[in-house]
Amino acid sequence: MPPTHAIDAHVRLDEHPTHTRAVIATLTGAQAHVAHVALEAADWTVVGENILALVRIDAEEPYWAKDAATHLAAEGITVDIAPRLQEAMDEEWTWVNYPMPWCTRSEVREVSNEAQKIHDDIRHGHLLIHAHAHDGHTTVAVGTYLHGTGKSVYLHGENHLRQVADTFDSPAQALLAFEKIHGAQMRPGPAPLTDTERSAAEARKPLAPLTAEPEPPAPEPVPVYLADAGDHDALLDGFLDAHGEFEKWRTWSDETTHAIHESQTLRIERVHETQPRDIAWTIAAYETPVSERMWVLSATAATPAPVLEKLLNHLADGDGWDTAVNTPLDESAVTTTAQPLAEAGWQHNLNGHGIHWTSPDGQAGVQFDSLTAQHPQNPATWTIWSGPGPDRPTWAITASPHTPSSLLAGLSETLAHDIGHRRPRAAGDGRGTGFVTSPLAIPAVAVSPAASRSR
């Protein structure tokens, strides 16, 4: 039923700027105090002037923020939800290795919400913890409610799994029972905060005031291998929006996104929030969904977005997926890969075990290692790089022997002819040195295939 009257208050809901899944509400309007009171009553925390944060220990902030938005709108308060938060509200996910697999998703949320209430009662001083212990599996504790029932409780578990396992009529009764079971491990007071609880406490701290930043300098056109990395997350989102044959899976911690082709034979792994030279993308192809890997390609976090975009679009075309594991990597395949470089005037020479092509300005190169090509699972037979050298790159792409020559030739074409953009960097803004490659280990996917968006 629509509200009978409008309130001059506007609530803007968005993701917390520094903490995953936490939600920020920014209030405006002559009657913003009405929304302020409603959100505080729902245990939102004031973190700035007319700014409140919803922070939980069960990672369910988007769900409860959506619930709050519904209630505010029903009261006649205007609510605006940022697009990325709306996507988080709509997505489906589940806990990895949840200890109560018989629970439905709504039942899991109920268990988590009860754990949240216990956490909040302790945080607000409503539940006094007398002692804690570790029972060999998890943390247990005993405490007494100072308000309401006044009951004493025995708590079992941590974070979103903490539950009231037993109740007692008095603190003395509860302590005696607790000491009888956990006497040797018993310690006074509450247990140290878990990592999740510490992170939640940090998210509740007042937000630093925003300061105006100077307008960044306009980007300059450069060879694509010198371009800025750009927004890799936005690149992946756009690719998946345009190619419905790939289904997106994500881990509950938001650290990694998996894009799986409908054939189950091509898999893309995107690791978020990595350092510039760490592996951020890994692509692997399989002859069948359950066979050994045919080839693998990885890219570091600083790889220019235009290079990755061309790579992803080539994958979407499906060319070269049927590369056979036993097909030898011959001179023809190497020539096909390097032909765009040769046509663009890149210099090549033999060095040690392979061939090295270098851009005319010396700031990028492609290296083929013929020795490692004899080992099909070697992840770095091909190395594409930009920077001081292949051993100290600004960014790098590595590929195993059976990576399709058409795919690698497409990358060569991009490097040889495409233009990107780079913002001028301040003096001293170096990127360091060092580069580590690692083969792909496709993890078991433990989340719902309906999960829709990385964050």
pLDDT at residue 51 in the model: 95
Q: Provide Rg for the chain, Cα atoms.
A: 27
Higher pLDDT, residue 446 or 146:
146
Give the pLDDT band (50/70/90) at residue 441: very low
Tell me, yes or no, if the pTM score tops 0.85. Answer: no
CB-based burial label for 64 (10 Å; 0-12, 13-18, 19+): buried
Residues 6+ apart with CB under 8 A from 426: none
Report which residue type is found at 363: Q
Distance of CA 17 to the CA centre of its chain: 14
pLDDT at residue 438 in the model: 33
Whether 113 has a pLDDT exceeding 90, the answer reads yes
Higher pLDDT, residue 450 or 16:
16
Residue with tokens 């756009």: 238
The H or E element that residue 54 is part of is: strand 51-54
Please, what is the angle between helix 83-90 and helix 61-74, to 10°? Answer: 110
Closest CA to 415 of 318, 334, 345: 345
Closest CA to 380 of 356, 359, 397: 397
pLDDT at residue 392 in the model: 85
pLDDT at residue 455 in the model: 32
Lowest mean pLDDT among 225-239, 273-287, 362-376: 362-376
pLDDT at residue 92 in the model: 79
The string of pLDDT tens digits covering residues 73-95 is 999 999 999 999 999 998 878 78
pLDDT at residue 448 in the model: 29
Whether 1 has a pLDDT exceeding 60, the answer reads no
Give the pLDDT band (50/70/90) at residue 4: low
pLDDT at residue 437 in the model: 31
Give the pLDDT band (50/70/90) at residue 428: very low
- Of all residues in the chain, the percent with pLDDT exceeding 70 is 85
Give the pLDDT band (50/70/90) at residue 336: confident
Whether 34 has a pLDDT exceeding 90, the answer reads yes
| The pair of three-digit structure tokens given for residue 197, joined into one six-digit string | 């609880």
Determine the average pLDDT of the residues in 420-433. Answer: 60
Give the whole-angstrom CA distance, residue 414 versus residue 310: 7
pLDDT at residue 74 in the model: 92
pLDDT at residue 423 in the model: 84
Paired residues of 156 in beta bridges: 140, 163
CB-based burial label for 439 (10 Å; 0-12, 13-18, 19+): middle
Give the whole-angstrom CA distance, residue 270 versus residue 287: 21
Determine the average pLDDT of the residues in 267-276. Answer: 90
Give the pLDDT band (50/70/90) at residue 439: very low
What is the DSSP secondary structure assignment for residue 447, as one 8-state letter? S
Give the whole-angstrom CA distance, residue 195 versus residue 202: 11
The maximal CA–CA distance of the chain, rounded, in angstroms, is 86
